[in-house]
Amino acid sequence: MADDVERQPIKASELKTGCLYRTNKPFSSRDFQMDAHPRWLLYLGKSSSFDCNVVVYVFSSTTQLRHFESGGDKENSPHRKYKKGQYGFTDDCAICFDDIIDYMSEKELEAYELVFMDKFDNDELKKIYGCVLKSNKVKHIEKVDIHTNLSNIGIKNLPMPKRRSR
Give the range among 61-65, 99-103, 132-136 with minimum mean pLDDT: 99-103
Q: What is the pLDDT of residue 4?
A: 46
Taking alpha carbons only, the member of 80, 99, 98, 91 closest to residue 33 is 99
Residue 95 C-beta-side C-alpha neighbours within 13 Å: 29
Structure confidence at residue 90 as a pLDDT band (50, 70, 90): very high
Taking alpha carbons only, the member of 102, 92, 25 closest to residue 61 is 92
Q: CA–CA distance from 52 to each of 29, 57, 147 (Å)?
A: 21, 16, 22
Question: Based on the number of CB atoms within 10 Å of its own CB, is 85 exposed (0-12), middle (13-18) or buried (19 or more)?
Answer: exposed
pLDDT tens digit string along 139-149? Answer: 898 899 999 99
Structure confidence at residue 165 as a pLDDT band (50, 70, 90): low
pLDDT of residue 34 exceeding 60: no
Q: CA–CA distance from 157 to each of 80, 127, 140 (Å)?
A: 21, 13, 18
Q: What is the pLDDT of residue 101?
A: 60
Q: How much is the mean pLDDT over the chain?
A: 85
How distant is the alpha carbon of residue 6 from its chain centre? 23
pLDDT of residue 2 exceeding 50: no
Structure confidence at residue 104 as a pLDDT band (50, 70, 90): confident
Query: What percent of the chain shows pLDDT beyond 70?
Result: 82
- In whole angstroms, give the CA distance from residue 104 to residue 56: 6
Q: How many CB atoms lie within 10 A of CB 164?
A: 8
